[in-house]
Amino acid sequence: MNFLSKQRSLALILSFLSISTGLLTTACNTQTTETPQGENNPSTTTSGNGLKLGTLAPMTGTLGSIGQNFPVASNLAVDTVNACGGVNDEPVTMITEDSETDPAKANSAMTKLAEADKVAGVVGAFGSSESMSAVDVAVRNKVMMISPGSTSQRFTDEAKKGKFQGFWARTAPPDTYQAQALATLAHQKGFKKVSLLVINNDYGVGFEEPFVTAFEKLGGTVINKDKPVRYNDNAATFDTEVKAAFEGKPDAVVAILYVDSGALLLKSAYEQGLSTNIPVLLTDGVNSEDFPSKVGTKPDGTYVLAGALGTVPGADGVALEAFKSLWTEKVKKEATAFTPHSYDAAVLLMLAAQAAGNNTGEGIKSKVLEVANAPGVDVSDPCEALKLLKDGQDINYQGASGNVDIDEYGDVIGSYDIWEVQKDGKIKVIDQVKPAGGEDKTEDKKEEKPKE
């Protein structure tokens, strides 16, 4: 090869390397945008320096049938806000993690959200044990956490000790109120003596004492209050626990359960012939559309749970009808329990960031009570609320789940729906019930902010 040919070859090689390096540099600097990955596992990611949030929900595990809709509701709130300009003039990012109804997995997922994804706020978790495991990570990393459904009284107790430093709140009321509501329902049904059967975690155990106190104040007796039956969610069988709960001929069994293990437990009660003449009272932990079918049917095809009653934190906010319309339009199915609470949690995180003028967890914490409570302009539309905040006005967000008036310990007072399992196995809300001993306080809230 002559000298000229060598020079030409060298020039071609250098040109190729230059082009390749340029392409590589361009590829490394390109930011990608992921779109939602479906209703059951949505994950919306955007580029830029805007507010970054997370959703931590039980999309699998024993609460999976309840939790799959929670990220859908949170993403619906984010899409609504992004459509009207985002927060602090940037689009909002939402990253979804599955807690798997497992406290250890919830801790790991929160660690990822806080330390790898660098989110400023998280909607979640749902199960109380999951949230209790995750909240320490959130506090350590100064991430604002708003749960749509962790209802254990333990959060109130720990908040009063200053453990959460203000980085914790919830849009569903604590179980002290639901326990009172369930006690009122038991009293209204004429039950004089009941027994307790609870899942052995923060949720179930936290339900026991306030229920016993409220039911006894109403003149009732909890026959096993000194030795309540507690079951472990991952137990292989539940025959012994079931037998202990139904013995003593109670008028009813108050069962605080999770979906999968609770279904096996009540199926065992039916197969042992224990629940034939003894009704069960249930709660939000099994308020899932597939729970009756998991328990099963009788030989004649009727559902074992037909006629069973339960309580669940209700939704009665000014924005509820607007939320239902939006949900039906975008999701194409009926909204389920706690979806309004998930939506409100996401909205509050975004409004607080706008009020703070920055996209940090500390900024959200500093303003979340301010945007959730009076004084301020009552507003239920997130876009209108953002506009008011940008104009320098104070707001009082009125949510879909309720007024979301969050107190200094992160708690709200809510209403409770009574739900019933129909003959066809469907779950239907048939009435509302007030917490025993909480009527006056609840009425004060309603009078203060009348519903439309």
Residues 145 and 268 reside in one and the same domain: no
pLDDT band at 26 (very low <50, low <70, confident <90, very high): very low
Residues 374 and 392 reside in one and the same domain: yes
Q: Which is more confidently placed, 96 or 27?
A: 96
Residues 336 and 251 reside in one and the same domain: no
Alpha-carbon gap, residue 112 to 194, rounded angstroms = 44
Residue 411, domain member (yes or no) = no
Q: Which is more confidently placed, 12 or 414?
A: 414
Residues 320 and 292 reside in one and the same domain: no
Q: Which is more confidently placed, 47 or 322?
A: 322
User: What are the start-end ranges of the E strands in 151-288?
Assistant: 168-170, 193-199, 221-222, 229-231, 252-256, 280-282
Give the structural domain span for 352: 52-172+316-397
User: Residue 445: its pLDDT value, please?
Assistant: 34
- pLDDT tens digit sequence for 54-113: 999 999 999 999 999 999 999 999 999 999 999 999 999 999 999 999 999 999 999 999
Instruction: Report the DSSP beta bridge partners of residue 98.
Output: 57
- pLDDT tens digit sequence for 317-360: 999 999 999 999 999 998 999 999 999 999 999 999 999 999 99
CA distances from residue 387 to 74, 80, 86, 381, 382 in whole angstroms, order as listed: 20, 13, 11, 10, 9
pLDDT band at 187 (very low <50, low <70, confident <90, very high): very high
Q: Which of 241, 259, 190, 183 is nearest to 214 (CA)?
A: 183
- pLDDT tens digit sequence for 199-223: 999 999 999 999 999 999 999 999 9
Residues 128 and 95 reside in one and the same domain: yes
Q: Map tokens 């209790």 to a residue.
A: 132
CA 181, chain centre distance (Å): 20
CA distances from residue 99 to 52, 60, 109 in whole angstroms, order as listed: 19, 8, 7
Q: Which of 449, 326, 359, 337 is nearest to 396 (CA)?
A: 449
Residue 44, domain member (yes or no) = no
**Count: domains in the chain:** 2
Q: What is the mean pLDDT of residues 168-172?
A: 98
Give me the sign of the Cα torsion angle 79, 81, 82, 84. Answer: positive
Burial of 184: CB neighbours in 10 Å, binned 0-12, 13-18, 19+: buried
Torsion angle, CA of 181/183/184/187, rounded to 10 degrees? 160
Alpha-carbon gap, residue 371 to 377, rounded angstroms = 10
User: What is the chain's mean pLDDT, rounded?
Assistant: 88
Residue 406, domain member (yes or no) = no
Residues 298 and 391 reside in one and the same domain: no
pLDDT of 18 strictly over 50: no
Residues 166 and 183 reside in one and the same domain: no
Alpha-carbon gap, residue 87 to 188, rounded angstroms = 47
pLDDT band at 49 (very low <50, low <70, confident <90, very high): confident
User: Residue 439: its pLDDT value, please?
Assistant: 41
**Percent of the chain scored above 90 by pLDDT?**
83
CA distances from residue 267 to 62, 237, 270, 272, 338 in whole angstroms, order as listed: 16, 11, 5, 9, 26
Residues 301 and 430 reside in one and the same domain: yes
- pLDDT tens digit sequence for 397-428: 999 999 999 999 999 988 899 999 999 999 99
- pLDDT tens digit sequence for 133-155: 999 999 999 999 999 999 999 99
Residue 186, domain member (yes or no) = yes
User: Residue 42: its pLDDT value, please?
Assistant: 43
Residues 98 and 192 reside in one and the same domain: no
Residues 59 and 115 reside in one and the same domain: yes
Residues 269 and 305 reside in one and the same domain: yes
- pLDDT tens digit sequence for 287-315: 999 999 999 999 999 999 999 999 999 99
User: Residue 403: its pLDDT value, please?
Assistant: 95
User: Residue 48: its pLDDT value, please?
Assistant: 61
Alpha-carbon gap, residue 174 to 158, rounded angstroms = 13
Residues 119 and 231 reside in one and the same domain: no
pLDDT band at 9 (very low <50, low <70, confident <90, very high): very low
Residue 227, domain member (yes or no) = yes
User: Residue 437: its pLDDT value, please?
Assistant: 56
pLDDT of 122 strictly over 60: yes
pLDDT band at 434 (very low <50, low <70, confident <90, very high): confident
CATH classification at residue 199: 3.40.50.2300
Q: Which is more confidently placed, 348 or 452?
A: 348
**Percent of the chain scored above 70 by pLDDT?**
86
